[in-house]
Amino acid sequence: MNIPGEISNTEPSLPLSGYRALDLAGPMGVYCGKLMADMGADVIKVEPPGGDPMRDVGPFIGGQPGPGRSLYWLHFNTNKRSITLDISTPEGAATLRKLALASDVLLETGPPGYMDSLGPGYGGLGYESLAAESPELVYASITPFGQTGPYRDYKASDLVGFAMGGYMYVTGWPDAPPNKLWGSQAYHTASNRAYIAILLALYHRMMTGQGQYIDVSMHEAVAATTEHVNTTYNYTGESAVRCGFRHGGQFVATWRCKDGYASITTNTRAAWDDLRAWMERDGMAGDLMDAQYNDHFVLRGEHSAHIEELVQAWALLHTRQEITEFGQSNHHPWGPAATADEILGNEQLWGRGYFTEVVSPDGPSLVYPGDPYRLSEFPLPVRRAAPAPGEDNVEVLSGILGLSAADVERLSV
């Protein structure tokens, strides 16, 4: 069992310094391990010999695949250590067990029952077996549908999680099939929920001395974050519909303008009046100054198509910056739809330290995105680039378990 403060490779000033976590997670949970590592936990990424398959996931530095060039891997494994270990063999499983008993957290994303199947000679590597020797252990499993229920053995990708969780049906245009948001949104949602649960379990352990098992379902994690969708159905009995460029049927929309797209929110009377007055000054308001449009809630009703046609024609007269500056100067939440290059060059993100340049000893310096929060007492999160496969075999297996150099070499091949 690791005691907070024992390990020396983390900075003692960070919130999770002193906690050790074994990260056996695949894509569904890799972000959870990153969140722990960025907050100071000693996260040890356990990879198969040769390296984790996620190292071959693009995009790649310069668009060229190769060792150490996966931007996907480099992003999701900052501040972690890496060991290579074949946990499917008896000796590899026994070594992992020893590491787990010397750790605070174990994170895994195997199918239900997989961890129990490893190391059968001593009861497997599931929670019950490990907790019998280390009741303080916090053990987190992330699966597509959880450890119980009729779907427990179903397979799922991020796409399936996004679809079955309810998000996909309400994403896209009303007259088109459901769409998927960019990126691994379902995976990241499951990782976020697992991270929160791990923090709660560690807090509970501080109070009681007891660890516990955490069963995270990606399906449930996505379903719990569908915002208005479930609430709408509960109260009205009607399913939410896809709203295209609008948000939930409200007059919160993204409009094409001179140089891209801008979001204009008119969910208050003041915002609506300011918008139509500006349109009137441009000679583009049509009949929107008529009394029948004074109630901004009419925008959700029978006149919405007419209003949207007028607003769209007007928006093409202005740039994103003009629309943003006018809205913000009048205290309305208006802003541009930023492109990827604009995010990387954004003065606000750089000014707050969201982006960090990290120099890798084996490659070029890279700009890393950080965590979307700031803790006043702690430094910025990205301190170390993602490790090479097995980079820390000796440090971990010898330093923690006391294995000889020969044992480490044999286990790592």
Q: What was the pLDDT predicted at 195?
A: 98
Q: What was the pLDDT predicted at 221?
A: 97
Rounded to the nearest angstrom, the gap between the alpha carbon of residue 139 and the centroid of all alpha carbons in its chain is: 20
Going from N- to C-terminal start, the domains of the chain cover 4-226+383-412, 244-337
Q: What was the pLDDT predicted at 121?
A: 76
Q: Which sequence positions are flagged as catalytic?
A: 247
Task: Judge whether 31 and 191 are in contact, CB under 8 Å.
Answer: yes
Q: What was the pLDDT predicted at 5?
A: 33
Give 69's pLDDT tier (boundaries 50, 70, 90): very high
pTM exceeds 0.85: yes
Cα dihedral 163/169/171/177 (nearest 10): 100
- pLDDT tens for 133-148 read 999 999 999 999 999 9
Minimal CA–CA distance to 178: which of 191, 165, 190, 187?
A: 165
CA 190/CA 53 separation, integer angstroms: 20
Q: What was the pLDDT predicted at 46?
A: 98
Rounded to the nearest angstrom, the gap between the alpha carbon of residue 288 and the centroid of all alpha carbons in its chain is: 42
Question: Does the pLDDT at position 256 exceed 90?
Answer: yes
Asked if the domains at 4-226+383-412 and 244-337 fall in one CATH topology, the answer is: no
Q: Report the SS3 class of residue 127.
A: helix
CA 108/CA 115 separation, integer angstroms: 8
Task: Judge whether 337 and 43 are in contact, CB under 8 Å.
Answer: no
Bridging pattern class, strands 105-108 and 138-143: parallel
In this prediction, residues 266-294 reach a mean pLDDT of 93
Q: What was the pLDDT predicted at 362?
A: 64
- pLDDT tens for 339-394 read 999 999 999 999 988 898 887 666 678 899 988 788 888 777 788 889 999 999 99
CA 115/CA 123 separation, integer angstroms: 10
Given the candidates 3.40.50.1220, 3.40.50.300, 3.40.190.10, 3.40.50.10540, the CATH classification of the domain at 4-226+383-412 is 3.40.50.10540
- pLDDT tens for 88-118 read 999 999 999 999 999 999 999 999 999 999 9
Given the candidates 3.30.1540.10, 3.40.50.150, 3.90.190.20, 2.30.42.10, the CATH classification of the domain at 244-337 is 3.30.1540.10
In this prediction, residues 325-338 reach a mean pLDDT of 96
Give ∠ CA 159-126-149 in degrees, rounded to 5.
50
- pLDDT tens for 176-235 read 899 988 899 999 999 999 999 999 999 999 999 999 999 999 999 999 988 777 777 778
